[in-house]
A and B are shown apart, each in its own frame.
Chain A
Amino acid sequence: MDKNDREYTNGEITVFWHPKKCIHATTCYTQLNEVFNPRKRPWVNMTGAPSQRIIEIVNKCPTDALTYKWNKDIGADAEVTKKDLVLDPVKPVEIQIMKDGPIVITGKIKLTDNNGKEYKTYSITSFCRCGASSNMPFCDGTHRKIGFQG
């Protein structure tokens, strides 16, 4: 667990926040601002919506920045991460362009640079599109700081 990670609970479910994995897709706060509001502290308000609605939005987060678990499921293994989702190898890879943000690629891919070095990828990988990431070729959220539009 990263030192910046946070947990929020309403007694029924716990939402986990892994900021290092956030690609600023903005899905959470644009679709459920009553719960996810980056302008407030704490930025997650677990009383803002029913558990099922929170889970629905957490599952829409394209990375594992937001995950959840049912509190009745004891143990850390109960955290539902998107990496656990079984990918259909026959299903084509999906390449999603995020507005003013990264390229989010879902599915089985192989990534190499021009020297033939292979990079580890996950079931969801986001690539920098603004040119300013410090973690090339991956997105690190810098597009927001520089006001990238495209």
Chain B
Amino acid sequence: MSDEPKPYSAELTFKPGASLKIKGTFVLKDANGNIIPTGEYIKLCRCGKSKTQPFCDNSHRTE
């Protein structure tokens, strides 16, 4: 049945050296536990260099 619920509520994909892409239903919280409003698709920094933490700003491309 195509309308069966998926066994997960968020899909994550990543490429080595690039961001973590998250799509689905989720709540994002900062280090203080405050909710950061987002849409249903975000890209989180994985390289540690982003100026817009926790989001990716493509800093990983500028080595």
Q: Which positions in A face B, CB cutoff 8 Å?
A: 89-99, 103, 105, 107-114, 127-132, 136-137, 143, 148, 150
Asked if B41 lies at the interface with its beta carbon under 8 angstroms from chain A, I say no
Within 8 Å CB of A103, what residues of B?
20, 44, 54
Count of chain B residues with a beta carbon within 8 Å of a chain A beta carbon: 33
A75 to B6, CA, bound (A): 36
How far does the Cβ of A101 sit from chain B's closest Cβ, in whole Å?
A: 8
Contact B46 A114 (CB under 8 A): no
Q: Which positions in B face A, CB cutoff 8 Å?
A: 5-16, 20, 22, 24-31, 33, 44-50, 53-54, 60
Contact B48 A129 (CB under 8 A): yes
In the complex with contacts A95-B22, A97-B29, A131-B11 CB distance below 8 A: no
A99 to B6, CA, bound (A): 31
Within 8 Å CB of B6, what residues of A?
110
Q: Which of A92, A96, A112, A143 lies in contact with B25, CB distance below 8 A?
A: A92
Contact A114 B13 (CB under 8 A): yes
How far does the Cβ of B44 sit from chain A's closest Cβ, in whole Å?
A: 6
A89 to B4, CA, bound (A): 13
Within 8 Å CB of B5, what residues of A?
89
Q: Which of B9, B28, B30 lies in contact with A108, CB distance below 8 A?
A: B9
In the complex with contacts A111-B12, A113-B15, A93-B25 CB distance below 8 A: yes
Within 8 Å CB of B33, what residues of A?
96
